[in-house]
C-alpha cells in the first residue's frame, strides 16, 4: 500500500503543471490520476465507509477551494510558483510525501499510520517535518505562503 500511495502521489505531482484551477485540486487529482483514484477506492474500501469528519484527529485540513477565474493570474508567475512547489515537494522524503498525500486525501492520522505501517504518532512528526521543510524551501526561494494560491498549496502548508 505504501508503494501504491507513493506512486499515486508522484503521478499527481508529475502532472501538477496541468492543473488549471477549473475544479478543486482534489477533483483534478482524481480525474487525472487513475492510480490516485484507485488508491482512493482502495482506502475507502479499507475504511469500510469510514466517516472522516466524525473520526478526524489532529488539526483541521483545508479542502482547497476552486480557483477563481482570475486567480490563475499571470501564467509565468504561476509557473514559477508551481515549479518552486514541485522542487520543494521533491526534496521531501518518500515517507513525508506519502503522509502529505494522506493529508491531501484528508485521511485521519490514525488511518495514515495504519496504511503506511507506522506507529500511531509517526505521521504527526512526519507531516510536521514535511511542512517545516516546505516552509524553509519557500523562504529560501523568496516565496511566502501568501504568494501561492490556496488551491495550489493549502494541502501542503496547513499550519
Partner 1 sequence: MVGLTRDREFDCSECLQHVGQFAEHQLAGLPLNEALISVGHRLTLCPECREDYLALKKILRDDR
Binding mask 24-43 for partner 1 (x = CB under 8 A): x-xxx-xxx-x--x--xx--
What's the CA gap between 87 and 37, in Å, rounded?
A: 24
The reply on whether position 11 binds partner 1 by CB under 8 A is: no
Smallest distance, partner 1 to C-beta of residue 117, A: 24
DSSP 8-class letter at 59: S
Angle between helices 150-157 and 25-32 (to 10 degrees): 90
Q: Between residue 66 and residue 95, which ones bind partner 1 under the rule CB under 8 A?
A: 66
What's the CA gap between 20 and 100, in Å, rounded?
A: 21
Smallest distance, partner 1 to C-beta of residue 43, A: 10
Query: In terms of CB distance, is 37 or 135 closer to partner 1?
Result: 37
Query: In terms of CB distance, is 8 or 130 closer to partner 1?
Result: 8
Instruction: Say which residue the cell 484551477 belongs to.
Output: 21
Q: Between residue 41 and residue 70, which ones bind partner 1 under the rule CB under 8 A?
A: 41, 44, 66
Phi, psi of 119 (to 5 degrees): -65, 160
SS3 state at 100: helix
Query: Which residues contribute to the site for partner 1 (CB under 8 A)?
Result: 18, 20, 22-24, 26-28, 30-32, 34, 37, 40-41, 44, 66
Amino acid at each position: 500500500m505504501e508503494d501504491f500511495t507513493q506512486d499515486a502521489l508522484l503521478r499527481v505531482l508529475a502532472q501538477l503543471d496541468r492543473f488549471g484551477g477549473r475544479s478543486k485540486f482534489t477533483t483534478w487529482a482524481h480525474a487525472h490520476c487513475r492510480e490516485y483514484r484507485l488508491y482512493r477506492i482502495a482506502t475507502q474500501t479499507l475504511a469500510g465507509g469510514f466517516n472522516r469528519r466524525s473520526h478526524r484527529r489532529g488539526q483541521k485540513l483545508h479542502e482547497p477551494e476552486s480557483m477563481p477565474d482570475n486567480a490563475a493570474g499571470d501564467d509565468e508567475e504561476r509557473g514559477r510558483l508551481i515549479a518552486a512547489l514541485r522542487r520543494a515537494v521533491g526534496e521531501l522524503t518518500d515517507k513525508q510525501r506519502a503522509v502529505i498525500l494522506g493529508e491531501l486525501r484528508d485521511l485521519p492520522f490514525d488511518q495514515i499510520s495504519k496504511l503506511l505501517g507506522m506507529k500511531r504518532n509517526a505521521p504527526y512528526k512526519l507531516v510536521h517535518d514535511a511542512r517545516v521543510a516546505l516552509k524553509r524551501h519557500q523562504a529560501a526561494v523568496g516565496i511566502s505562503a501568501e504568494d501561492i494560491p490556496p488551491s495550489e498549496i493549502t494541502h501542503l502548508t496547513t499550519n
